[in-house]
């Protein structure tokens, strides 16, 4: 998936404000990856999708955490923190 495809994918899920925020996070992530020698494409795709699940229902996110066998400790933290790993 290239940048344009990823951005089109998340844009459908986000408010205009949240999409603008995502573009800023993407830009910062790319800059930081370049500065610190990290994988720029991985940083870019992680930034683009970090808020993908921001507006999903709590029960849907909980189900994804369990189905995908993510770290169960996630469920002990506030649901406000679930959207990034779920995304
Ligand atoms: Fe964010």
pLDDT tens digits, one per residue of 1-53: 899 999 999 999 999 999 999 999 999 999 999 999 999 999 999 999 999 99
> Which of these, 53, 28, 24, lies nearest to 40 by C-alpha position?
28
List the structure tokens of 34.
Answer: 């370049």
Task: Reduce the secondary structure of the chain to three states and give it as a string.
Answer: CCHHHHHHHHHCCCCHHHHHHHHHHHHHHHHHHHHHCCCHHHHHHHHHHCCCCCCCCHHHHHHHHHHCCCCHHHHHCCHHHCHHHHC
All structural domains of the chain with their residue ranges: 1-52, 56-87
Q: How far is the CA of 72 from the centre of ligand 1 (A)?
A: 22
Q: How far is the CA of 30 from the centre of ligand 1 (A)?
A: 15
Q: How far is the CA of 3 from the centre of ligand 1 (A)?
A: 17
Q: How far is the CA of 67 from the centre of ligand 1 (A)?
A: 24
pLDDT tens digits, one per residue of 42-70: 999 999 999 999 999 999 999 999 999 99
Residue 68: Cβ-neighbour burial (10 angstroms; 0-12, 13-18, 19+): exposed
Neighbours of ion ligand 1 (CB under 5 A): 51
């Amino acid at each position: 998936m290239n940048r344009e495809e990823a951005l089109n994918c998340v844009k459908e899920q986000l408010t205009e404000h949240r999409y603008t925020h995502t573009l800023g996070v993407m830009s910062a992530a790319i800059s930081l990856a370049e500065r610190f020698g990290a994988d720029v494409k991985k940083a870019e795709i992680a930034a683009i999708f970090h808020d993908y699940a921001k507006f999903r229902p709590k029960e849907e996110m909980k189900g994804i955490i369990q189905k995908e066998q993510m770290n169960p400790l996630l469920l002990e933290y506030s649901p406000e923190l679930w959207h990034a790993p779920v995304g």
